[in-house]
Amino acid sequence: MRDGAVAVVFDDEKENVLLVKRRDVPVWVLPGGGIDPGESPDEAAVREVQEESGLEVRIVRKVAVYTPTGKLSSETHLFECSVIGGEPRISNETKEVGFFPVGSYPPPVFPIHNGWLKDTCENRPEIIVKPVEGLDWTSLMKMILQHPILSTRYLLTKIGLRWNSN
């Protein structure tokens, strides 16, 4: 699994946050994805936001580095970003794009991202470095029982089988 970069993109007032609804596993997530070879984590975060939402952003600060806890996770870099251009639009990876009030997100939201949003809103002066939380076998089993179809689609993407839905 490639290391990843994820962005928390606020509106100008920092009252709303950008979420994208994936096509392959239709859940709301923070925009982000894998870091390409030769690409820095911050470059990957900016690229992923543009690809998934149509928005151009700039990095405000690096919030965290989440370290892997097993085969279900990889190192992930989290950035706070602000919009500098573009218009929200869907893509071949996303079926919906929108800004939502901080703390009030449409279901279903990828559970790990709630914690990452919380870490971002704490505005710590230092970069947080901690293990990925909430992506272990116990939480996976709980997610499978609560959302069997979404969980199956997520697991299939982890082994490289992807499909887009309308």
Exposed, middle or buried, 166 (CB in 10 Å: 0-12/13-18/19+)? Answer: exposed
The pLDDT score that the predictor gives to residue 29 is 93
The share of the chain scoring above pLDDT 90, in percent, equals 62
Looking at the domain assignment, is residue 80 inside a domain?
Answer: yes
Looking at the domain assignment, is residue 83 inside a domain?
Answer: yes
The model's pLDDT over 94-117, given as tens digits with 9 standing for 90+, comes to 999 999 999 888 887 878 888 999
Looking at the domain assignment, is residue 165 inside a domain?
Answer: no
Looking at the domain assignment, is residue 90 inside a domain?
Answer: yes
- Our count of domains for the chain comes to 1
Domain that holds residue 90: 4-158
Q: Return the CATH number at 143.
A: 3.90.79.10
Please tell me the pTM assigned to this model: 0.82
104: Cα separation from own chain's centroid? 16
Looking at the domain assignment, is residue 163 inside a domain?
Answer: no
The share of the chain scoring above pLDDT 70, in percent, equals 77
The pLDDT score that the predictor gives to residue 25 is 79
Looking at the domain assignment, is residue 112 inside a domain?
Answer: yes
